[in-house]
Chain A
């Protein structure tokens, strides 16, 4: 299962704000692409985005599209309501990307029962609309 939304509250949660140095990430999301920062000098990846490469201190980021393949590093199943916008139970996963070294990303699973999730379970990216304006990067099981 994925997180189920109560549309009545959606506007409260889908007006993401970001810093200027994160433009590339959110421009990617608008185009249904998951992109990460990769240093044009030393090839270090960064997520969430930063101003400067933490390794070589260059400000020469390239926004590269992710392969979308990853594994479950950790997760939790929320069973107590936090806000009526999100119907419990639902799971939040922390995915470690396979092809972008050191990159992890928080998301929800699509079409997956909480009981099926396990550490290191392979997953892949899928975008899903959450409002008229926004689609978000979710993950599904690799069959």
Chain B
């Protein structure tokens, strides 16, 4: 019994990515799901499941709840509803939930979506208005330790100290992803090149992170439709098979502040990685292109280590000069521009790009890409997916 190849992503849809969408999270979700249905060749009323996520408690106000989206679209009935916890760590988990739902017959067509508008809405990431009434934050907020950038900076600084990774190496992650965005007309940074000089002299937000180490702040929504391989045959697109899924919290997990383990690396990614590769019956060598969650530059080399593309301590060197991670290199990463340069949709846009690589329709297409690793946010409980063309 395995979930391997029991479900596929058959539709992807997106709104525009913008600084001001001029409409609500629910409206954005409706537009992205409508686009995903068009892409798949599915009637809206055939959707019978929803798998979504918001942020961890701190920004709970911001959400496009499933029943509100379903009601706005006139969907007759939802037979499955799933919420995956802990913000960006949930992205791939929504697809894992959907795959379990369709392969077990609980639902037939499950839409996975994320909708957010931190650029123009009332909830802005990293800009708290008060200590949230949730016990975990009492250890951080009174010290002004109140933004995801600073929370991840604490990990990254220690990692750079232990491994000798440099800001120039992190800069190559930003530059390579910007190169990818320059080929992607959907990207927020389309037509906006970045040089290493601009990167190096960018103002520090929370060291080691500068503006260019940090993901975009934008409005938008991305939706994916998941169904069984049998139903996929009757739809428009070449399916992207869900060959592996993995989740992980590891030991002593907190929400972005897992600072109390013996080593404060990314053990949640190591756990998710073990399972995603095992289910897909693959090793990192089989992966042609990776979409690695990139709220910050450093998380790319840190995940190259945690997911086994190199040893601990070699992630920085892997990104040196950028040649191994750019298009044509050994492991192209974040080929849409990712969250640093395409858009920040809490990882959902990375999954859509993984599907495009399998279909052969990326604006930075990897020749004959067969196996794609996509990962969720880290520093929180995380999730990962391997998408393939099927057996």
Contact = CB atoms under 8 A, between A and B. Distances in A.
A143 to B, nearest CB: 23
Contacts of A62: none
Nearest to A16: B138
Interface residues of B, number: 41
A82 B146 contact: yes
Nearest to B214: A80
B304 to A, nearest CB: 21
Contact of B128 (A80, A82, A103, A136): A82
Contact of A12 (B131, B150, B251, B260): B131
A8 interface: no
Nearest to B204: A79
Interface of A: 3, 12-19, 22, 26, 47-48, 54, 73-80, 82-83, 85-86, 90, 92, 94, 102-108, 119, 130, 134, 136
Contacts of B145: 92, 106
Nearest to A50: B252
A78 B141 CA distance: 13
B44 interface: no
Contacts of B157: 74-76
Contacts of B201: none
A48 to B, nearest CB: 6
Given A18-B138, A80-B203, A94-B259, 11 more contacts: A3-B143, A12-B129, A13-B131, A16-B142, A17-B131, A73-B264, A78-B147, A78-B206, A80-B149, A86-B144, A92-B144
B285 interface: no
Nearest to B144: A86
Contacts of B264: 73-74
Interface string B101-142: 000000000000000000000000011111101111011111
